[in-house]
């Protein structure tokens, strides 16, 4: 099987039909969950016992960090689908994921800096977690630049896919940096293998905000990908019409006299 069930969406018409149905639900869910999570976290959850009110920025910072990581994982997956299975939409998906993931990585770094100033007394420290997240932002920006650096789009897609797969090594470094090194950044409050080290009244708004960010990321990428597919279909249609007009013009032209 070439790419499994993903090739069902290789047909642009089928993809557009799915996107048209999914986008309103994703958008509505994103607004509802993000709104609920941020309002709950900002006004109804208790302040942190150590960090006080400053910890409320986590309801923006932590979801942005998770989406930046999962967004790059999605970028790497699209790149693998392009290189291995030649999925027709994989290259377009990678191109559209890049700017959205970079935006979330930038939000993560900016809010982390705002959070770190009252906690550490500095806007930035060369901490392992912060540095590896900064590298992730540079990987996003490098991919954005590389896919647009060639006259032949296919060469840009291939170069960007290779960079995305190589850069994926940064993801476990970001996640485990607080375990592998002695860092200023606090440890992970939520783990798959242990109970969360955060009050339940703070955990629920964080979960809602993260789910909302996830739906928002999916909605933005899907909207961008839909627009890219429509743009490509329009370009193909205009090219076909131009070629047809050229053939008709050539056929209608009188033959030159010998």
Calculate what percentage of the chain has a pLDDT beyond 70: 78
Cβ pair 129, 174 in contact under 8 A: yes
Classify residue 82 as exposed, middle or buried by CB count within 10 Å of its CB (0-12, 13-18, 19+).
Answer: buried
Task: Flag whether 194 is in a domain.
Answer: no
Asked whether the predicted pLDDT for residue 205 surpasses 60, the reply is yes
Cβ 157 vs Cβ 75: under 8 Å: no
Pick the residue with more confidence: 48 or 34? 34
Give the C-alpha separation, 8 to 14, whole Å. Answer: 8
% of the chain beyond a pLDDT of 90: 48
Token digits for 35?
A: 């709104």
At 9, is the pLDDT very low, low, confident or very high (cuts 50, 70, 90)? low
- For residue 125, the Cα-to-chain-centroid distance in whole angstroms is 25
CB atoms under 10 Å from CB of 91, counted, come to 24
**In-domain check, residue 195:** no
Q: What is the pLDDT of residue 3?
A: 46
Residues 225 and 219: their CA atoms lie apart, in Å, by 10
More confident residue, 99 or 86: 99
Does a structural domain hold residue 117?
yes
pLDDT at 159 over 70: yes
Does the residue 213 lie in any domain? Answer: yes
> Is 86 a residue whose pLDDT tops 70?
yes
Predicted local distance difference test score (pLDDT) of residue 24:
95
| Total domain count, the chain | 1
Residue 1 has pLDDT above 50, yes or no: no
Mean pLDDT of the chain: 84
**pLDDT of res. 257:** 47
Residue span of the structural domain in which 114 resides: 19-183+200-234
Residue pLDDT, tens place only, 180-197: 666 656 655 555 555 556
Domain assignment present for residue 189? The answer is: no
Does the structure show a pLDDT above 90 at 120? Answer: no
For the entire predicted model, the pTM comes to 0.83
| Position with higher pLDDT, 209 vs 186 | 209
Taking only the tens place, the pLDDT of each residue in 58-81 is 899 999 999 999 999 999 999 999
């Amino acid at each position: 099987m070439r790419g499994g069930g993903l090739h069902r969406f290789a047909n642009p018409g089928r993809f557009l039909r799915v996107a048209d149905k999914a986008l309103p639900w994703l958008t509505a869910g994103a607004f509802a969950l993000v709104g609920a999570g941020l309002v709950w976290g900002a006004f109804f959850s208790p302040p942190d016992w150590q960090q006080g009110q400053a910890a409320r920025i986590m309801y923006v910072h932590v979801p942005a960090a998770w989406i930046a990581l999962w967004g790059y994982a999605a970028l790497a997956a699209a790149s693998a689908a392009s290189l291995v299975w030649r999925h027709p939409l994989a290259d377009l998906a990678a191109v559209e994921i890049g700017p959205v993931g970079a935006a979330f990585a930038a939000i993560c770094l900016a809010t982390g800096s705002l959070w770190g100033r009252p906690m550490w007394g500095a806007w930035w420290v060369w901490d392992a977690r912060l540095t590896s997240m900064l590298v992730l932002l540079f990987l996003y920006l490098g991919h954005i630049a590389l896919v647009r650096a060639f006259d032949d789009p296919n060469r840009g897609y291939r170069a960007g896919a290779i960079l995305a797969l190589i850069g994926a090594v940064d993801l476990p470094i970001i996640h485990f940096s607080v375990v592998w090194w002695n860092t200023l950044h606090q440890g992970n409050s939520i783990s798959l293998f242990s109970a969360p080290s955060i009050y339940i009244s703070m955990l629920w708004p964080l979960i809602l905000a993260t789910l909302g960010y996830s739906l928002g990321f999916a909605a933005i990428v899907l909207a961008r990908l839909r627009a890219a597919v429509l743009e490509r279909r329009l370009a193909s249609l205009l090219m076909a019409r131009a070629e047809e007009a050229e053939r008709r013009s050539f056929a209608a032209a009188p033959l030159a006299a010998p």
